[in-house]
Protein backbone atom coordinates (compact mmCIF):
# COMPACT_ATOMS: atom_id res chain seq x y z
CA UNK A 1 0.00 0.00 0.00
CA UNK A 2 1.25 3.47 -0.91
CA UNK A 3 -0.30 6.90 -0.31
CA UNK A 4 0.62 10.06 -2.23
CA UNK A 5 0.05 13.63 -1.07
CA UNK A 6 0.85 17.08 -2.48
CA UNK A 7 2.14 18.11 0.93
CA UNK A 8 5.88 18.72 1.39
CA UNK A 9 7.97 15.81 2.70
CA UNK A 10 8.09 17.06 6.30
CA UNK A 11 4.33 17.69 6.45
CA UNK A 12 3.65 14.26 4.97
CA UNK A 13 6.02 12.61 7.47
CA UNK A 14 4.43 14.42 10.43
CA UNK A 15 0.91 13.53 9.28
CA UNK A 16 1.75 9.86 8.75
CA UNK A 17 3.39 9.67 12.18
CA UNK A 18 0.50 11.47 13.90
CA UNK A 19 -2.08 9.20 12.26
CA UNK A 20 -0.05 6.05 12.94
CA UNK A 21 0.18 5.04 9.27
CA UNK A 22 2.48 2.05 8.81
CA UNK A 23 2.52 2.06 5.01
CA UNK A 24 4.60 4.12 2.59
CA UNK A 25 3.42 7.73 2.40
CA UNK A 26 4.97 9.66 -0.48
CA UNK A 27 5.21 13.39 -1.04
CA UNK A 28 4.42 14.80 -4.51
CA UNK A 29 4.59 18.58 -3.93
CA UNK A 30 4.70 19.34 -7.67
CA UNK A 31 1.73 16.97 -8.22
CA UNK A 32 3.53 15.20 -11.07
CA UNK A 33 2.21 11.71 -10.28
CA UNK A 34 -1.15 13.10 -9.17
CA UNK A 35 -1.55 14.82 -12.56
CA UNK A 36 -0.42 11.69 -14.41
CA UNK A 37 -3.38 9.82 -12.89
CA UNK A 38 -5.73 12.78 -13.49
CA UNK A 39 -6.35 13.21 -9.76
CA UNK A 40 -5.60 16.91 -9.27
CA UNK A 41 -8.32 18.83 -7.46
CA UNK A 42 -7.28 22.36 -8.40
CA UNK A 43 -7.86 24.77 -5.52
CA UNK A 44 -9.40 22.00 -3.42
CA UNK A 45 -7.28 22.59 -0.34
CA UNK A 46 -6.84 25.44 2.08
CA UNK A 47 -3.34 26.03 0.70
CA UNK A 48 -4.11 25.32 -2.97
CA UNK A 49 -4.26 22.19 -5.11
CA UNK A 50 -4.74 18.75 -3.56
CA UNK A 51 -5.21 15.21 -4.82
CA UNK A 52 -8.71 13.82 -5.28
CA UNK A 53 -9.40 10.85 -3.03
CA UNK A 54 -8.74 7.67 -4.99
CA UNK A 55 -7.78 4.06 -4.46
CA UNK A 56 -6.08 1.91 -7.10
CA UNK A 57 -5.17 -1.75 -7.40
CA UNK A 58 -2.16 -1.94 -9.70
CA UNK A 59 -0.71 -5.22 -10.93
CA UNK A 60 3.05 -5.95 -11.10
CA UNK A 61 3.19 -4.72 -14.71
CA UNK A 62 1.84 -1.31 -13.64
CA UNK A 63 -1.63 -1.84 -15.13
CA UNK A 64 -4.47 -0.33 -13.11
CA UNK A 65 -6.89 -3.21 -12.50
CA UNK A 66 -9.40 -1.43 -10.25
CA UNK A 67 -9.99 2.12 -9.11
CA UNK A 68 -12.33 3.98 -6.86
CA UNK A 69 -12.73 7.75 -7.29
CA UNK A 70 -14.81 10.20 -5.32
CA UNK A 71 -15.28 13.93 -5.22
CA UNK A 72 -15.91 13.87 -1.48
CA UNK A 73 -12.73 14.27 0.58
CA UNK A 74 -14.25 12.27 3.45
CA UNK A 75 -15.37 9.26 1.39
CA UNK A 76 -12.97 6.34 0.95
CA UNK A 77 -13.46 2.79 -0.25
CA UNK A 78 -14.27 0.41 2.59
CA UNK A 79 -11.62 -2.26 3.21
CA UNK A 80 -14.08 -5.02 2.33
CA UNK A 81 -14.76 -3.33 -1.03
CA UNK A 82 -11.06 -3.20 -1.87
CA UNK A 83 -10.54 -6.81 -0.77
CA UNK A 84 -13.51 -7.96 -2.88
CA UNK A 85 -12.05 -6.14 -5.90
CA UNK A 86 -8.69 -7.80 -5.22
CA UNK A 87 -10.36 -11.22 -5.03
CA UNK A 88 -11.94 -10.63 -8.47
CA UNK A 89 -8.58 -9.93 -10.14
CA UNK A 90 -7.35 -12.59 -12.56
CA UNK A 91 -4.57 -14.78 -11.19
CA UNK A 92 -1.63 -15.77 -13.35
The predicted-structure confidence for 10-49, as pLDDT tens digits, reads as follows: 998 999 999 998 888 889 989 999 999 888 888 877 778 8
Residue 17 pLDDT: 93
Contacts for 41 with CB less than 8 Å, ≥ 6 apart: 49, 50, 51, 52
What are φ and ψ of residue 65, in 5° steps? Answer: -100, -20
Full-model pTM? 0.69
Say if residues 37 and 54 touch (Cβ distance below 8 Å).
Answer: yes
Residue 66 pLDDT: 93
Residue 18 pLDDT: 95
Closest CA to 77 of 58, 60, 53, 61: 53
What confidence tens digit (pLDDT) does each residue in 49-86 have? 888 888 999 888 888 899 998 877 788 888 899 999 99
Residue 20 pLDDT: 93
Closest CA to 3 of 41, 43, 42, 55: 55
Amino acid sequence: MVAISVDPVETTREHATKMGFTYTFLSDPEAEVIRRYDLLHAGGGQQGDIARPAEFLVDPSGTVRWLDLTEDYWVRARPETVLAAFDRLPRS
